[in-house]
Structure 1
């Protein structure tokens, strides 16, 4: 029997990667976490022992508490969160069931250190077009919803990263960058353990648009056109990023749910009444 306020792995999987995804809080004890140091995409770690201290920070938000098997730890944390004003659920079966079903898990070893506010901080070249919007979208939706992005002059990316504790991406000679024929988005999908079919399909579109190989995907010219249009609509890189998140939300949902759907006009022809 499912616990009260339990969310099934299948339902959670449908929410991850979308703007409607709840806050995911992994509350496994250290022993369980160290035995499998991976996180459900977008999850953050918190100690159940300190829940009374951190729970008020999630007031009026929707939260899913995750422990090893979906029993006492997540149930207790969810109860505390509800007491603090959150709408809290638990993950049915915990992370153990999630893993057994072959669902994606992000290796913690791949995640950058977080700043004092608990955010990962990234830095790249200013005036983004494709990869430098696609990668922040992937990070925000599947890795760290609170991630912060700095856009600076190309010549200063690495120096800014060193001075401000930010991870450089999509420039030459850094870890998170193009590799062979792969673009940075491809690399992140692979290294973060996010090789889901919709994301692999989206990665092909991004790679085709970002590397001028539009023949790789019939959707790539559309992404290129929309990306270049956004870059001309916004002079502020952060405003462009916020607008671009919606663009990639739409492409992701097409990749996940709508690749077989077609559209024509008129889609529903009115029936012609027969003459008397």
Structure 2
């Protein structure tokens, strides 16, 4: 039985955020860490008022909130900060960063793909009340975004020559 001031996993899950608004960096940053920094990284999503306590208890590094190291810097979003600090350089990650930043700061004029990313993020936030389930589901489309940025940008869809039929 946990101490009165201790959080059990079910209690921690109840503190996890709700889908009232999409948090682009809450999926983008874990993807970046899991794919390029530490495959075994775990992520805890808690109410802002609980971040400091949970970070201390689990020896975790908070991200994407005010007054922490891993957060916005000027016009750069948390994803940008992580790319810079982890010294991750690739054309695909640079393209992803522009799309993620554009969606995260609601500047659709910065990259045409950001509206699609925002639409998918809003959809995920409406499908999943549990942040861990949302994260796992979102990893697939962020992986797909990375693959598109890496080697799929030149591919298009020419409807008149496309095949397929619906009955």
TM-score in terms of structure 2 length: 0.83
1:135 paired with 2:29, answer yes
* DSSP 3-state at the match of 2:75: coil
Shift of 1:182: 0.2
Of 69, 80, 83, the match for 1:189:
83
Runs of at least 5 residues in structure 2 that lack an aligned partner in the other structure: 1-15
Of 214, 219, 228, the match for 2:113:
219
Of 233, 236, 248, the match for 2:142:
248
Q: Distance in 2 between matches of 1:265 and 1:242?
A: 32
1:201 paired with 2:95, answer yes
* DSSP 3-state at the match of 2:161: coil
The structure with the greater share of residues assigned to helix is 2
Runs of at least 4 residues of structure 1 off by over 6 A? Answer: none
Q: Distance in 1 between matches of 2:138 and 2:147?
A: 14
Shift of 1:195: 1.7
Q: Distance in 1 between matches of 2:162 and 2:43?
A: 45
Matching residue of 1:126: 17
Shift of 1:268: 4.8
CA-atom RMSD, angstroms? 1.4
TM-score in terms of structure 1 length: 0.51
1:229 paired with 2:123, answer yes
Indicate conservation of the 8 Å contact 2:77/2:104, yes or no: yes
Shift of 1:190: 1.2
* DSSP 3-state at the match of 2:156: coil
Q: Distance in 1 between matches of 2:147 and 2:45?
A: 27
* DSSP 3-state at the match of 2:148: helix
Matching residue of 2:67: 173
1:15-52 CA-to-partner distances (Å, cap 9, x unmatched) read xxxxxxxxxxxxxxxxxxxxxxxxxxxxxxxxxxxxxx
Of 38, 41, 49, the match for 1:144:
38
Runs of at least 5 residues in structure 1 that lack an aligned partner in the other structure: 1-124, 270-276
Of 141, 144, 153, the match for 2:47:
153
Please say which structure displays the higher CA radius of gyration: 1
Q: Distance in 2 between matches of 1:200 and 1:126?
A: 29
Of 129, 146, 164, the match for 2:58:
164
